[in-house]
């Protein structure tokens, strides 16, 4: 048997915001702008909600956007302690000979890892990518398998990587949606390394090159991610921007020019910030419900969320939010901390919007024999009452 328990109103948890936003309400959210691209996705970073998209799961060649996954593997090795920014890497002939964009490293010379990271991100150096891949995995082929392992963990179910550079290879594919997931992970998992994406220029071997992400120069709220271009892939751009605490990720694939990928991205970013807002409703680990517990040492058990809950909604609709919880009518010890015990439902204007698991915030141990027996008798009588 299920019972529904109403919990604290979201409006009470975020006092004062609802009225202010209602006074400046956007009564309707317009359709997103027309975008000349093979696929795109506009996603809120904190909530993961998709604000606009077209063909987001279309598999396409990623070109140098591949280097976002290369960076993810490199950053993972640094975080794990297997690699240091100060480590020196000897450049192989293969890395030196790799075609396409370069940071101009030289064969048999040693280069610092941090320089190679900047060369990979800012200068889009294919030579830097191969040098990093070979140092970490022994070969670029093995490194590509590491890329795919990380992609699988991130939920990038429609992507497949065959190299560290993004140079054309049959079967080397991503989707806009997968790249957005990767972008979120880069920011979340490596906050101390993400800053490399906002750097506008890098000089190595007396050669200065500028970041190819035009929006870094045009829009001060844009702080990262990567461009890509090959004849087959077209002009691609993955971008992140933050305004007033709200961060948006946009991935656009297959535009016709450098200008087009920047212009189309700018339209989508402006649309997202203009017509949507993001709120943190609940903190992970905060008690949302104190539920009745049977056969336990304690009479109640705390329920809450395992992770922070963010939502992204149309501007002006905050006061239309509500929350309730569905929990089993009878919770019986023992219960391990982290066990899902119910669901938190969020509605917008009376319609289901999102839901999150409610978990036990503590371990509930069984009571002694006598207390369990008394509770058993109580449950027996309660079952008759519930059937009426």
Query: How many angstroms separate the CA atoms of 235 and 226, rounded?
Result: 11
Residues 32, 274: contact at Cβ < 8 Å? no
Would residue 124 show up in a list of annotated catalytic residues for this protein?
yes
Query: How many angstroms separate the CA atoms of 185 and 27, rounded?
Result: 33
Would residue 302 show up in a list of annotated catalytic residues for this protein?
no
Would residue 240 show up in a list of annotated catalytic residues for this protein?
no
Query: How many angstroms separate the CA atoms of 193 and 210, rounded?
Result: 19
**Candidate list 39, 47, 53, 64, residue with the active-site label:** 64
DSSP label of 30: P
Q: Rg for the chain (alpha carbons), in Å?
A: 26
Q: Which residues contact 188 (CB under 8 A, 6 or more apart)?
A: none
**Candidate list 67, 102, 226, 295, residue with the active-site label:** 67
Handedness of CA 211, 212, 217, 222 (dihedral sign): negative
Query: How many angstroms separate the CA atoms of 287 and 28, rounded?
Result: 35
**Candidate list 124, 159, 240, 317, residue with the active-site label:** 124
Residues 353, 47: contact at Cβ < 8 Å? no
Closest listed residue to residue 224, CA positions, set 112, 32, 51, 68: 68
Residues 248, 272: contact at Cβ < 8 Å? yes
* Strand extents, DSSP E, the chain: 2-5, 39-44, 50-54, 88-90, 110-112, 201-204, 207-210, 222-224, 227-230, 234-243, 246-255, 276-282, 289-294, 300-304, 309-314, 321-328, 331-332, 340-348, 351-360
- Catalytically active residues are 64, 67, 124
């Amino acid at each position: 048997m299920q019972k529904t328990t109403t919990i604290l109103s979201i409006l009470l948890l975020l006092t004062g915001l609802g009225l202010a936003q209602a006074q400046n309400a956007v009564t309707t959210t317009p359709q997103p702008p027309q975008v000349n691209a093979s696929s795109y996705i506009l996603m809120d970073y904190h909530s993961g909600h998709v604000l606009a998209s077209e063909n987001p799961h279309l598999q396409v060649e990623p070109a140098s956007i591949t280097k976002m996954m290369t960076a993810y593997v490199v950053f993972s090795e640094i975080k794990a302690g297997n690699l240091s920014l100060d480590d020196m890497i000897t450049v192989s002939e293969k890395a030196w000979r790799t075609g396409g964009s370069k940071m101009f490293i030289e064969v048999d010379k040693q280069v610092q890892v941090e320089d190679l990271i900047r060369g990979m991100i800012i200068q889009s150096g294919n030579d830097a990518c191969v040098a990093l891949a070979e140092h970490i995995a022994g070969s670029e082929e093995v490194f590509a398998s590491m890329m795919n392992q990380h992609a699988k963990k991130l939920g990038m179910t429609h992507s497949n990587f065959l190299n560290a550079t993004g140079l054309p290879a049959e079967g080397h594919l991503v989707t806009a949606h997968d790249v957005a997931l990767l972008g979120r992970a880069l920011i979340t998992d490596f906050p101390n390394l993400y800053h490399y994406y906002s750097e506008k220029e890098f000089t190595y071997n007396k050669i200065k090159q500028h970041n190819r992400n035009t929006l870094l120069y045009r829009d001060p709220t844009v702080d990262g991610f990567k461009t890509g271009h090959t004849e087959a892939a077209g002009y691609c751009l993955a971008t992140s921007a933050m305004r007033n605490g709200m961060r948006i990720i946009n991935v656009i694939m297959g535009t016709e020019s450098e200008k087009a990928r920047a212009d189309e991205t700018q339209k989508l970013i402006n649309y997202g910030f203009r017509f949507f807002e993001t709120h943190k409703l609940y903190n992970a680990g905060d008690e949302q419900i104190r539920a009745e517990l049977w056969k336990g040492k304690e009479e109640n058990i705390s329920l809450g969320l395992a992770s922070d809950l963010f939502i992204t909604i149309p501007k002006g609709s905050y006061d239309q939010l509500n929350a309730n919880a569905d929990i089993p009518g009878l919770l019986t010890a023992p219960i391990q901390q982290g066990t899902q015990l119910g669901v938190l439902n969020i509605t917008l204007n009376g319609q289901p919007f999102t839901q999150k698991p409610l978990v036990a915030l503590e371990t509930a141990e069984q009571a002694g024999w006598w207390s369990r027996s008394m509770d058993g008798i109580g449950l027996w009588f309660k079952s008759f009452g519930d059937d009426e």
